[in-house]
Chain A
Amino acid sequence: MIEAQGLTKRFGDKVAVDDLSFTVKPGIVTGFLGPNGAGKSTTMRMILGLDRPTHGRALVNGHAYAAAKAPMREVGALLDAKDVHGGRTASAHLKSLALSNGLPTARVLEVLDLVGMGEVADKRIKGFSLGMSQRLGIAAAMLGDPQILMFDEPVNGLDPEGILWIRHFMQREAAAGRTVFVSSHLMSEMALTAEHLIVIGRGKLLADTSVSEFISQNSAGSVRVRTPQLESMRDALARAGVKVIDIDGFLQIEGMTTDQVGDLAAANHITVHELFAQRSSLEEAFMEMTRDSVEYQAHYDDAAFDSAMAGGTK
């Protein structure tokens, strides 16, 4: 269980994390979602005591992380997989971590096997691909068989197989009762992995909700209908008191289900050629929610882009 209580971090004038409060519960994967630069990594660093909060505090199992007697028993964290001395072998790296918390060194081979890296135990880390480094980082996180797993953008730069592996790994460990807290800037990834979502933008909390709730709330759809009797349909809908817009030969209806529109057409003897629900994607919902809090927005229109390109080729 992780609790953030009014967590705030300022770097000079810049507020990286702004009065953030949330609780991460065991038994489920909790996604920590936000655009790049939203303050996800800084928040995780404050939870681990790597960064000092300007205000507020973070508690791990009810106490400050630094107060843990055997920290690796409580949290297994992977922030950046490349944060290791490349000159060491995988097993020497893990052995040094295990020893630091008084964990049995036999655990090193166990966790390497767990992530499918038993064969490269004695290879130096600098030769590892990003995917292998991620697995090594997860092996390190698992050394202490911790109650909490915390991963910062673990799927970044991975191939599809690696992404699938990490996704299943996190879901399995959460199902086993661990607290799993994982950050991402991709809504689509979180929709597949997480059960609960904490969404931040510019350091502020935007949503703290279950994924299914997030989906039903943020993908409020409309219904589109195509009919040869356009005017009759429009009149019928107007009588029903709903809002109608003309789009590409369709009528787009807000505030009615496909069932209701179909029934309405039948009641008015209108032929319907096409009828479907139009849902905005989760990614669109996420972008809509974080629109005002994106760190660096792209501000160009096509004309400006074209003229810039033309200028460049002259």
Chain B
Amino acid sequence: MSTITATPTAIPRRRYDHARASLGNVIRSEWTKFWSVRSTFWTLLTLIVTTVGFSVLAAWGASTHLNQMSPSDRAHLDVPFNSLSGLILGQLAIAVLGVMVVTTEYSTGGIKPTLTAVPNRLRVLLAKGIVFAIVATVVGMITAFAAFYAAMPFWAHQHLAAQLGDPGVLRAVIGAGIYVLASGLFGFAFGALIRHTAGAITIAVALLFVVPLILNALPGGWGKWIYEHFTSNAGGMILTTVPQTKGLAPWTGYITFTIWWLVPLAIGAYLLKRRDA
């Protein structure tokens, strides 16, 4: 169309030669979005406070009732695991944040300007995921080490305090950090799949927190298999340093948990590409 070049004034008037919606730029954009809503800070603070608080409570409770423990319970006593057990509640905060990172785009309508600015939808989802994963890992590590060191004084009275150098302990504490990442991405995946805040949070919390407890009641070998392979039951094994009566090996469990968020995320990504925004 040669007629277009004959417009009265040359538009655009500004030269932004480096302008492009590259992955790096979209990550910068998502980083700004992530930190520019107040709920991000408060949810991360909730993660840290809840995890450290309940880990300390668990350490205090278990260490003071040590002499009432049965010999078999003593044999399975896992001091580092106990000292990180606040994650059972803390994981819900990061999962909720993971859900909201995606679903608030839909609940506010912000997804339309987002996808208009960057029509490559998978790039948007990837950038969101990378930003969230970086934050979840860093905050997860801070949470894990804080919980571990806050709980140890309670065990020191019983001369049971664990050291990072003890077998499996460093792996358990770092494992707690990446467990935060996995439970966050679990929420993120269901947010991308369901696109609805309340629905995604309900499902994520049910699958991470409620159902794993209920499954403990399942009888027989298959019941044990389902229990062991279910979401947080599998993922939580990365926090253990002593073999438990039920449960997968630490890394087997963590990889199983990874599959739990990877599959819904893949379906969510496929649907994001297919569906009308």
Contacts and interface: CB of A to CB of B under 8 A. Distances in A.
B217 interface: no
B14 A84 contact: no
Contacts of A118: none
Nearest to B127: A100
Given A102-B19, A176-B9, A77 B109 contact: no
Interface residues of A, number: 51
Contact of B117 (A27, A85, A100): A100
Interface string A94-121: 0111011111100000000000000000
Given A96-B29, A101-B117, A102-B25, A73 B109 contact: no
A144 B104 contact: no
B267 to A, nearest CB: 18
B1 interface: yes
A175 B12 CA distance: 13
Interface in A144-163: 144-147
A84 B16 contact: no
B276 A102 contact: no
B167 interface: no
B22 interface: yes
B8 interface: yes
A71 B7 contact: no
Nearest to A50: B277
Interface residues of B, number: 46
Contact of B12 (A73, A87, A92): A73
Given A88-B33, A146-B12, A147-B11, A99 B119 contact: no
Given A71-B118, A101-B118, A95 B32 contact: yes
Contacts of B111: 83
Contact of B10 (A72, A80, A177): A177
B127 to A, nearest CB: 9
B122 to A, nearest CB: 11
Nearest to A65: B119
A145 B14 contact: yes
A88 B112 contact: no
Contact of A100 (B8, B13, B25): B25
Contacts of B110: 83-85
A145 B113 contact: no
B115 A50 contact: yes
B1 A1 contact: yes
5 contacts: A1-B1, A84-B109, A99-B28, A101-B20, A176-B13
